[in-house]
Structures are given as structure tokens and as C-alpha cells.
Amino acid sequence: MEQPKAQNIDEYIADFPVATQKILQQVRETIHLAVPEAKEVISYGMPAFKQNGVLVYFAGYAKHIGFYPTGSGIEAFSAEFGDYKWSKGAVQFPIDKPMPLDLITRITKFKAERDMEKTKRKK
């Protein structure tokens, strides 16, 4: 039986165990502090932050938090991922270890700058 899709990030986070909720909330606040003007949305069923385009997505799982800064964010920071599992569009942060909030902040700011440059080029 599939869960009804969350309409906003609060609903999304509420579906997780309390310990995971705290971590998701921490990631959410970190992204929000990095790019305060970004708008919260649900995209592809996941929490996301949008400026002109979507900057980053994140999602909760049983054993990790998925962070999705898409290809450019992964490419720019892959040297810093160390032991984290990652692919061309995502990185997994285990929930039994402290979240790398500084890294999440830097990736989010990088994505916001890229997004602004892209928007300026279009105008």
C-alpha cells in the first residue's frame, strides 16, 4: 500500500520515525539558512528547495538521508564525499552518523550561485 503523497515538507517529515524527523528537520533548516530566499516545494515526491530552478532535494530512508544536488553539485564536491555512497546525482548520509551540515551548506550555496548565473544568461 503506497503512502499518500505529502503536500508539503512538514507532511513529508511527519511520516518518519521521530529520530529521522529530527535529522530531516536539521537538513531542512541547514538548506534554508544557506539560501533563505529559496522556496520549499515537493518535487518528485521529495522535499526540495527552489530558487529559479530546483537547487537541491533531500529524502529520508531507513538507514540514510539522500541528498540530491543533481549532477553539477555532485561533480563539484565529490572529492569531499569520503566514505559516503554517492552517484552522479545523489549522496547518502548515514543517519547513525552526524550530518555533514557544513558540506550541505556549501553545496546548496554553490547550487544557488549556479542557478542565478543560469537565470542571468537566459535574460
Q: Is residue 87 part of a domain?
A: yes
Q: Is 119 within a domain?
A: no
Domain membership flag for residue 79: yes
> pLDDT for 73-110, tens place per residue?
999 999 999 999 999 999 999 999 999 999 999 999 99
In a domain, 68, yes or no: yes
Using CA atoms, how far apart are residues 94 and 43, in angstroms rounded to an integer? 22
Number of structural domains in the chain:
1
Owning domain of residue 93: 9-114
Residue 121 lies in a domain: no
Phi then psi for residue 97, to 5 deg, are -130, 155
- Residue 83 lies inside a defined structural domain of this protein: yes
39-68 in b/e burial notation, b at 16+ Cβ within 10 A?
Answer: eeebeeebbbbbbeebbbbbbbeeebbbbb
CATH number of the domain that residue 95 is part of: 3.90.1150.200
Q: Is residue 21 part of a domain?
A: yes
What whole-number distance in Å separates Cα of residue 82 and Cα of residue 85? 8
Q: Does residue 99 fall inside a structural domain? A: yes
The CA distance from 25 to 85, in Å, is 22
Whole-angstrom distance, CA of residue 76 vs CA of residue 71: 9
Over residues 25-73, the pLDDT tens digits come to: 999 999 999 999 999 999 999 999 999 999 999 999 999 999 999 999 9
Q: Quickly tell me which residue has 542557478 as its cell.
A: 115
